């Protein structure tokens, strides 16, 4: 018995550097520490793992909470914690996860950046549906076990690469997760500010103290909209200032600009929100009378009668008590129409997204020091959860992909090399550049159309002076169909970005 106990003890004391090869394979770094892509030295399997080294010595409360939850939670769509290593010499803590090659932040960024005839390439419909269904299934499991995730965002949704779990979604980063079945005190007293603010539900922004699992559903709605449009639906230019006050004026303004100002008949309990008085003082309802989710999504070619829009509307209901649950969402008609959702979100086809890149320690540290960090919904990032936004520092190898963060299972760091706030700043800059380019393109099109119309008017006047056979024009669906005096048809189509 003593021999077996000693053998087990020695196995538990095994050093991570003796078991895994990971030197030079850093794929992420954030405030929580470093994440490495690793393989077993003994070659007992060919699997790839994510090794997350916790920053500092010992365990923080956030890391302890994350480890405790992940050791109990087992679901195909929740990241799997394989093992915890404790180094007795330097008091370092290492977490071992399955390695995920992709995450939603990178997938959306790739499709937004890939241009075909100056148009953003959307995420395929089947992929969007499969991603959403698996996210909902993972959250359904967490909620059924009385766990709130509280930090859902594209960077924390991992997608497995080639292998037996190809195309499987893994929800990562349980650093903010909490049990909500019988809290000793209101959750807001424990953490007054949760969820990265672009994905933060309106009740949180208005200071709700007893929030529910509906906050996760709102975040899923934001992710769904981003998958459909390749743009964050509630992007706010002001940085997420770290404060104990949950009220965020600019973020609320952005939500109202998309959804419209909440009416008391639609959200009866809005008057009970702690920040309701501030809300009524800061905002005028009349400024948002022409704003609605229908108009916003219609600009992105999502029709209000589509099954996708109808589900999105239920996920982004302002009143948390009326917001759909994960179980109800999984039964929605959207998942019953073609194309079907699949376990492999890539539907067995070729994966179009590049692999993660390795980072160098020196330049990574240098960039972190130079940029500093803007506070922004930081999290402990399980096993390398990707931060919501931003680039990594110097890449050492692997393809053309700018690795941003890899979630726990993805082996990426919360920011794939920079702090989450830096990532957020980077995405904001990229998004602003994207919108600027689009506006410039639209202005050029308008100028071109005006020139064409002026030329046509001049030709018409000349034809009339010379007694020509008469010119005319008719409106067509694509643009203005002009008929010159010589009978030739000249069609000027307005190309929409």
In order of 2, 116, 195, the CA distances from 185 in angstroms are 45, 53, 19
How many whole angstroms separate alpha carbon 279 and alpha carbon 430? 30
Q: Could you confirm whether 151 is annotated as catalytic? A: yes
Closest CA to 29 of 394, 399, 428: 394
How many whole angstroms separate alpha carbon 197 and alpha carbon 453? 46
List, in sequence order, every residue forming a beta bridge with 29; answer none if it has no partner: 34
**Residues marked as binding?**
52
In order of 65, 81, 211, 342, 481, the CA distances from 97 in angstroms are 16, 5, 30, 24, 61
Structure tokens at 304: 């209000």
- DSSP, collapsed to helix, strand or coil, labels residue 310 as helix
**Residues marked as binding for ATP?**
52
Structure tokens at 120: 């953003």
- Residue 168 exposure: Cα atoms within 13 Å on the Cβ side: 18
Q: Which of 98, 103, 151, 385 is catalytic?
A: 151
Pairing of strands 49-54, 169-171: unpaired
Question: Is the Cβ–Cβ distance between 74 and 65 less than 8 Å?
Answer: no
Structure tokens at 125: 């419909």
List, in sequence order, every residue forming a beta bridge with 96; answer none if it has no partner: 51, 83
Active site residues: 151
């Amino acid at each position: 018995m003593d021999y077996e106990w000693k053998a087990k003890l020695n196995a538990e004391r095994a050093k991570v550097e003796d078991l895994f090869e990971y030197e030079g394979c850093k794929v992420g770094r954030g405030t929580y520490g470093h994440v490495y892509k690793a393989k077993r030295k003994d070659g007992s399997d060919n699997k790839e793992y994510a090794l997350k080294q916790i920053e500092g010595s010992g365990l923080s409360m956030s890391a302890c909470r994350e480890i405790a939850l992940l050791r109990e939670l087992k679901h195909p769509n929740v990241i799997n914690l394989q093992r915890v290593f404790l180094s007795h010499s330097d008091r370092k803590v290492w977490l071992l996860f399955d390695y995920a090659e992709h995450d939603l932040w990178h997938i959306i960024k790739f499709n937004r950046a890939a241009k075909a005839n100056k148009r953003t390439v959307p995420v395929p419909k089947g992929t969007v549906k499969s991603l959403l269904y698996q996210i909902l299934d993972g959250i359904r499991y967490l909620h059924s076990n009385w766990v709130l995730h509280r930090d859902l965002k594209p960077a924390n949704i991992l997608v497995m690469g080639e292998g037996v779990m190809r195309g499987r979604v893994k929800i990562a980063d349980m650093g903010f997760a909490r049990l909500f079945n019988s809290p000793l005190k209101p959750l807001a007293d424990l953490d007054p500010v949760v969820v990265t603010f672009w994905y933060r539900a309106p009740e949180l922004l208005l200071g709700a103290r007893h929030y529910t699992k509906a906050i996760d559903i709102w975040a899923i709605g934001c992710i769904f909209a981003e998958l459909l449009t390749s743009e964050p639906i509630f992007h706010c230019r002001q940085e997420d200032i770290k404060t104990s006050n949950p009220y965020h004026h600019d973020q609320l303004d952005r939500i109202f600009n998309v959804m419209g100002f909440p009416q008391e008949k639609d959200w009866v309990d809005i008057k009970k929100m702690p920040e309701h008085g501030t809300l009524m003082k800061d905002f005028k309802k009349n400024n948002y009378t022409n704003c609605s989710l229908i108009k916003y999504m219609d600009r992105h070619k999502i029709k209000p009668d589509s099954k996708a829009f109808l589900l999105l509307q239920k996920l982004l209901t302002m009143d948390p008590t009326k917001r759909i649950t994960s179980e109800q969402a999984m039964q929605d008609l959207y998942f019953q129409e073609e194309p079907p959702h699949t376990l492999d979100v890539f539907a067995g086809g070729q994966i179009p997204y590049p692999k993660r890149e390795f980072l160098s320690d020196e330049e990574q540290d240098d960039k972190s020091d130079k940029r500093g960090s803007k506070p922004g919904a930081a999290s402990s990032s399980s096993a390398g959860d990707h931060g919501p936004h931003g680039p990594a520092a110097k890449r050492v190898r692997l393809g053309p992909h700018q690795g941003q963060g890899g979630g726990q299972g993805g082996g990426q760091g919360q920011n794939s090399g920079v702090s989450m706030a830096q990532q957020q700043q980077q995405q904001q800059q990229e998004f602003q550049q994207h919108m600027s380019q689009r506006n410039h393109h639209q202005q050029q099109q308008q100028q071109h159309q005006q020139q064409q119309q002026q030329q046509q008017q001049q030709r018409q006047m000349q034809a009339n002076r010379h007694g020509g056979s008469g010119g005319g024009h008719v409106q067509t669906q694509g643009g203005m169909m002009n008929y010159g005096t010589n009978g030739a048809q000249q069609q000027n189509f307005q190309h929409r970005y």
